[in-house]
Amino acid sequence: MTLILIFAIFPTIYSMFFAMSRVRFTGDGLKFRFVGFRNFSKQFFGTDQVHFLGRTEPVSILAMIIFAVIVVSVLVWLYRSRKIATWVGMLGRTVSASMAIFLAWVLCASLLSGNSIGTLYTTLFYVLVGCGIQFVIGTGLAFICSQPIHGKNFFRVIFFIPLMVTPLGVGYAMKMIADITKGPFEPLLRLFGIENWVWSADAWSARLVMVVGDSWQWIPFIFICMLAALENVPQDHVEAAQVDGASSMQIFREITWPQVVPVAVTVLLIRAVEAFKIVDLPNIMTGGGPGTATESMTLHSLFVWRANDMGTSAAIGYLLLILTVIVCASFFNYVVLGRLRRTKA
Amino acid sequence: MSDASFKFEKSGRSLMERLFEPPAIGKMSLVAKIVAYSLLAIWSVFVLFPIYWVIITSFKDAAAVNQGPFYIPFFDFQPNLDAWRAQFNIDRFCDLTSILRQVYLLVHNSFVFVVSPVISLNPMELQICKIYLAFTNSVVISVVSTTLCVAVGSMAAYALARVQYKPKFGNILVFVALLVLVIVATTYAGVPWWASSTVALAMFFFLVRSVGRYFKMRLSNNDILFWIISQRILPPIVVVIPVYVMFQAVGLLDTHLALIILYAVANLPIVVWLMHDFFANVPIELEESAQLDGATRFGIFWEIVLPLTRPGLAATTLLILVLNWNEYLFAVFIATVKVQTMPIMVAAKNAGEKGVFWWEMSAIIVVMIIPVIIMSILLTKFISKGVLQGAMKG
């Protein structure tokens, strides 16, 4: 047991040392030189700023106004919650609020001012948009499959297949499919007269292709969990409602949905944690390009790592860890628990 | 329940009603049926098309891939087995000696896996059929590490579900502080790792007796569970160098044992998490009555709890097996020559400036998918039941 503990805990602490030092390979192994938090601050203030935060230099007036609105609303939320929260809860809320303000500032300064976004928001884009699409489609398919239809088991096996393919294989398969000159969609593009359109040359279309590839692999996961949850909803409740003449929309909203919410939240959380670590797909399909448009934080960390700068790589990993923990914990505490509290009250 | 299909007996239903309202409870209306089946069909095409494309690409040659999209074998292009032949027999003759060689290699591999940390055998002939080597490596590593991981993880999960642990916060602080000291001593002062860790272990037992009693704060099972889960959040790229250094120090680089331990530890959080839910759902009265009858704790676990959670166990095992089978990042760092696994073979077909050998890569991907799909079809019944129980715990 101690051995496992060491195996689990040692790399985490050891990589903290990497994050705080400049590491070099020498003849007799690794050489460390302690540099404190310089690896971290380099991400925010150094020349690498373009990578992590995006370009934030000219801030437009509109973005300033939006930023101010967001800050005020977050502060109001913080101020109003001082009565219901304990001391520890207040500390957590302050952390979440400062994270929200920081994210809002980056959003306003980069995207809303018309500048390019950095790896931070690319990662968030993959997580938010990807998880949203995957959750909606996965739940929808699971809902259809939970209805009385024929061939349920057949569809279940078919839909489960993408999860079995190695992520590397998914990356290469998607690259084959999305190839615009030799891929299967080439005649289709010619039909619409856009054969000169290159998805990998435009930042947003490239990001969208990443999300599609990611969804192809991960919708089955949400599908299988949500199907299990939906099939566990007692059928007699649904039938009773049907006899009473409720429409199927009402039945779904009032009876089915409340019973599957806990599972949905767990599944969404697991998926989000994994989605923050997306690396294979952008690495294989675009290599992070055009420019750094599709580069997620993990991929950036990998590139820095390849350039033998392990300290910075570990620092990016830790930034990602902090981001993931705060976002997921905030989501869980305020959205999920808040919802539960409201339904109880 | 004979009248479960209770009919709406309405005389003179209009056309719209007949289309949109379900004819009976537990049935679907015509429009709903059409929409549902067409959505399912569309999604099946979306899911299956990339798989189909990979499969037909594995039967193409360079010309068929490069001259534009061809869709249907024998109609668009002439399929051939070049890619498969290039993978499976280097000398292009599937004669007896090469098959015997593969069998020998397989036995040799299993043997090396057991003794590799202790004795180093002469290096294998790596030129013959790398893919057989990689396949056996992958099978051995993923099966053994999955077994290890599920065994250890389910026991830990059962303990967490049934026994209340109250570790002292102070002890954990001491442990972490000593670990930090060991790392500092080893990396900055150049003390050999075994000396520093032995000293630290001795100091740990000494300090636990003395310092431990000054800390009153205790942790509960939920804290332990959360800590275990949080291990999954850190991106693997961050821990790969420490792991490399660790295995270098122990001298286990490029052995089966290193990858087995690594995969088992990396997937332990998932097993503990899922199995904890399953075990918590087992009614405790069963175990209490068994305890009254004089069964030991291990006996209860083995005879009563495990059979009850067999679906969950199957689902978890399959999930871990798939994750181990597909793991790439750790493998590419730890396994350099002797224990290359299948995902490395896939990546190796991207030959840099010569371009990607799509056809050969597709063949390997197909080889990788087939065993997992067979496993999943065999276990589908188990999975749907298993997730059903665990998921409702939320």
Q: A154-185 pLDDT, tens per residue? A: 887 788 888 888 888 888 888 888 877 777 77
3-state secondary structure of B218: strand
Confidence (pLDDT) at B236: 77
Decide if A172 contacts B356 (C-beta within 8 A): yes
Asked if A290 has any chain B CB less than 8 Å from its own CB, the reply is: no
Q: State the Cα–Cα distance between residues B135 and B130, nearest whole angstrom.
A: 8
Which is it for the CA torsion A144, A148, A151, A153, positive or negative? positive
Q: Which residues of A touch B239 (CB under 8 A)?
A: 11-12, 15
| AA letter at B280 | A
Residue among A30, A41, A28 nearest A312 (CA): A41
Q: Where are the alpha helices (DSSP H) in chain A?
A: 2-19, 38-45, 49-52, 61-80, 87-110, 119-146, 152-160, 167-177, 186-191, 203-231, 235-243, 248-251, 257-275, 280-285, 297-306, 310-330, 337-344
Q: Which of A312-321, A335-344, B288-297, B326-335 has the lowest mean pLDDT?
A: A335-344
Asked if A331 has any chain B CB less than 8 Å from its own CB, the reply is: no
pLDDT digits (tens, 9 = 90+) for A92-111: 778 888 888 888 877 777 77
Q: State the Cα–Cα distance between residues A223 and B166, nearest whole angstrom.
A: 38
Is the model more confident about A50 or about B240?
Answer: B240
Complex-level ipTM: 0.79
B365: nearest CB among A169, A265, A314: A169
Is the model more confident about A49 or about B240?
Answer: B240
A255: left (phi over 0), alpha (psi -120 to 50) or beta: alpha
Between A and B, how many residue pairs show a Cβ–Cβ distance under 8 A?
Answer: 234
Most confident segment among A42-56, A71-85, B91-105? A71-85
Confidence (pLDDT) at B90: 53
Task: For residue A338, give Cα distances in angstroms to A223, A330, A332, B359.
Answer: 26, 11, 9, 53
Residue among A253, A275, A255 nearest A331 (CA): A275
pTM: 0.77
Count Cβ neighbours within 10 Å for each residue of A273-306 and write b for 16 or more, e otherwise. Answer: bbbbbbbbbbbbbbebeeebbbbbbbbbbbbbbe
| Residue A200 DSSP code | G
Q: State the Cα–Cα distance between residues A96 and B197, nearest whole angstrom.
A: 39
Confidence (pLDDT) at B3: 45
| Tens digit of each residue's pLDDT, chain B (394 residues) | 344 444 444 445 566 666 666 666 666 677 878 888 888 888 888 888 888 888 888 888 777 777 767 777 777 777 777 777 776 655 444 456 656 666 666 666 666 655 555 544 444 444 455 677 778 788 888 888 999 999 988 888 888 888 777 777 777 777 777 877 777 777 666 667 777 777 877 877 777 777 666 666 667 777 777 677 777 777 777 777 778 877 877 777 777 788 888 888 888 888 887 787 778 777 788 788 888 888 788 888 887 788 777 777 877 888 888 888 888 888 888 877 667 788 888 887 776 666 677 888 888 888 888 888 888 777 766 655 544 444 444 3
HSE-CB at A181 with a 13 A cutoff on CA atoms is: 4
Asked if B44 has any chain A CB less than 8 Å from its own CB, the reply is: yes
CB-based contact A182 B66, cutoff 8 Å = yes
Q: In terms of CA atoms, which chain A residue is nearest residue B391?
A: A263
* Mean per-residue pLDDT of chain A: 77
pLDDT digits (tens, 9 = 90+) for A229-272: 787 777 777 778 877 877 777 887 888 888 777 778 777 887 88
What is the enclosing helix (H) or strand (E) of A22? strand A21-26
Confidence (pLDDT) at B369: 86
Q: Which residues of A touch B44 (CB under 8 A)?
A: 155, 158-159
**Average pLDDT of the residues in A287-291:** 74
Closest CA–CA distance from residue B291 to any residue of chain A (Å): 26
Q: Which residues of B touch A119 (CB under 8 A)?
A: none
pLDDT digits (tens, 9 = 90+) for B46-99: 888 888 888 888 888 777 777 767 777 777 777 777 777 776 655 444 456 656
Q: State the Cα–Cα distance between residues B5 and B11, nearest whole angstrom.
A: 18
* CA A144 from centroid of its chain's CA atoms: 26
Confidence (pLDDT) at A134: 92
CB-based contact B40 A224, cutoff 8 Å = no
pLDDT(A206) > 80? yes
CA-only gyration radius of chain A, Å: 23
Q: B-contacting residues of A 98-137, CB under 8 Å?
A: none
Q: State the Cα–Cα distance between residues A270 and A221, nearest whole angstrom.
A: 10
CB-based contact B328 A6, cutoff 8 Å = no
| AA letter at B148 | L
Q: State the Cα–Cα distance between residues A278 and A210, nearest whole angstrom.
A: 10
3-state secondary structure of B351: coil
Q: In terms of CA atoms, which chain B residue is nearest residue A7?
A: B265
